[in-house]
């Protein structure tokens, strides 16, 4: 009975066993691969695999098989092909159960990882890319950039293929959007993608801020109100002074008092009463 109980317990344990959580924050910096363990369990090991430029087969990196550390030197992969453009992924393993593979990215720009600079504007995320790289010089337009993008926290499923810089428009203002870029050759991914970068899409700036609008409205209204009070005060309490100040000085000209001098010169009442001097008409001889 004891043996049967132990067997049942063992079977139940095996059936309840789940793969370990995959590692996180996997990135390469100058050919040193680093990651953060996805679990605190100490019995988890990690295996790194690579795929070369012209192959879809994944092979173990010799120095990074079933290791318990959280880093591995992958400098040996430089000799895989002419450009050293390899893809890397890593899996966690515990008692024969493996996590899903997680792709590595690169923080170091080189001939196999594109340089990416983001600029955010209202509704638009501008992705600045350089077309001056070994792949473009070697394969011309057959080598492009694949730009993956999406909201922060979501899987980057949407992508655009482009030779040079491009804008991603129609984005929701006030949200953060993330981008990663990878070289492609004949639509096939090449080398390590750039590590994910995120930017906040800003709100459009109004001409006046809320405080500026409040000041622009309140100040004129307050000025008009104060001026109205001053005018009412003056009109009510200083009305007589205002009338006196506005009254013009009135003086009768002295010439009007000399009208009596004109009584010695009668004014004719009609044309027929006018008096004329007789002028002698002289006829020339």
Query: Where exactly are the structural domains of the chain?
Result: 17-106, 116-200
- For the beta carbon of residue 39, count every other beta carbon within 10 angstroms: 14
> So what's the pLDDT on residue 82?
62
Structure tokens at 80: 């895989």
Domain 116-200: top CATH class: mainly beta
pLDDT exceeds cutoff 70 at 146: yes
> So what's the pLDDT on residue 229?
83
> So what's the pLDDT on residue 61?
93
Structure tokens at 103: 């792709």
> So what's the pLDDT on residue 176?
97
Mean pLDDT for the stretch of residues 69-78: 90
Asked whether this chain's domains 17-106 and 116-200 adopt the same fold, the reply is: yes
pLDDT digits (tens, 9 = 90+) for 234-255: 777 677 777 676 666 666 566 6
> So what's the pLDDT on residue 262?
47
Task: Provide Rg for the chain, Cα atoms.
Answer: 49
Sheet holding 32-36, edge to edge: 71-73, 32-36, 24-29, 105-106
CATH classification of 17-106 is 2.60.40.10, yes or no? yes
Structure tokens at 2: 């004891």
Mean pLDDT for the stretch of residues 38-42: 88
Structure tokens at 121: 């504007």
> So what's the pLDDT on residue 231?
80
> So what's the pLDDT on residue 222?
82
Which one is predicted more confidently, 263 or 134? 134
Mean pLDDT for the stretch of residues 142-155: 92
Average pLDDT, the chain: 80
**Helix, strand, coil distribution of the chain in percent, nearest 5:** 30, 30, 40
Please, which pLDDT band fits residue 84 given cuts at 50, 70 and 90?
A: low
> So what's the pLDDT on residue 8?
44
Kindly report whether the global pTM for this prediction surpasses the value 0.85: no
Decide if 149 contacts 182 (C-beta within 8 A): no
CA 177 to chain centre: 10
Q: Which of 70-74, 133-137, 209-213 has the highest mean pLDDT?
A: 70-74
Mean pLDDT for the stretch of residues 129-146: 78
The whole-angstrom separation of Cα 131 and Cα 114 is: 9
> So what's the pLDDT on residue 268?
55
pLDDT digits (tens, 9 = 90+) for 3-21: 555 554 554 454 357 899 9
> So what's the pLDDT on residue 267?
52
Please, which pLDDT band fits residue 1 given cuts at 50, 70 and 90?
A: low
């Amino acid at each position: 009975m004891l043996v049967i109980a132990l067997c049942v317990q063992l079977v139940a344990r095996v059936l309840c066993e789940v793969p370990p959580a995959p590692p996180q924050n996997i990135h390469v910096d100058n050919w040193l691969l680093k990651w953060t363990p996805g679990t605190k369990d100490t019995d988890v090991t990690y295996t790194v695999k690579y795929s070369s430029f012209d192959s879809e087969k994944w092979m173990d990196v010799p120095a990074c098989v079933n290791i318990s550390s959280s880093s591995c030197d992958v400098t040996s992969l430089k000799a895989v092909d002419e450009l050293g453009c390899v893809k890397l992924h890593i899996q966690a393993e515990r008692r024969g159960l493996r996590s899903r593979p997680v792709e590595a990215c690169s923080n170091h720009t080189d001939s196999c990882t594109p340089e990416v600079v983001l600029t955010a504007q209202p509704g638009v995320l501008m992705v600045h890319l350089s077309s001056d790289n070994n792949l473009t010089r070697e394969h011309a337009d057959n080598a492009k950039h694949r730009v993956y993008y999406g909201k922060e926290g979501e899987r980057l499923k949407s992508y655009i293929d482009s030779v040079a810089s491009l804008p991603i428009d129609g984005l929701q203002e006030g949200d953060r959007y993330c981008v990663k870029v990878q070289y492609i050759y004949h639509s096939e991914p090449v080398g390590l993608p750039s590590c994910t970068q995120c930017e906040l899409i800003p709100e459009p700036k109004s001409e006046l801020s809320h405080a500026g609008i409040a000041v622009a409205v309140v100040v004129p209204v307050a000025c008009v109100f104060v001026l109205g009070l001053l005018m009412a005060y003056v009109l009510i309490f200083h009305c007589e002074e205002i009338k006196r100040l506005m009254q013009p000085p009135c003086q009768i000209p002295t010439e009007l008092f000399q009208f009596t001098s004109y009584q010695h010169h009668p004014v004719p009442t009609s044309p027929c009463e006018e008096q004329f001097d007789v002028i002698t008409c002289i006829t020339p001889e």
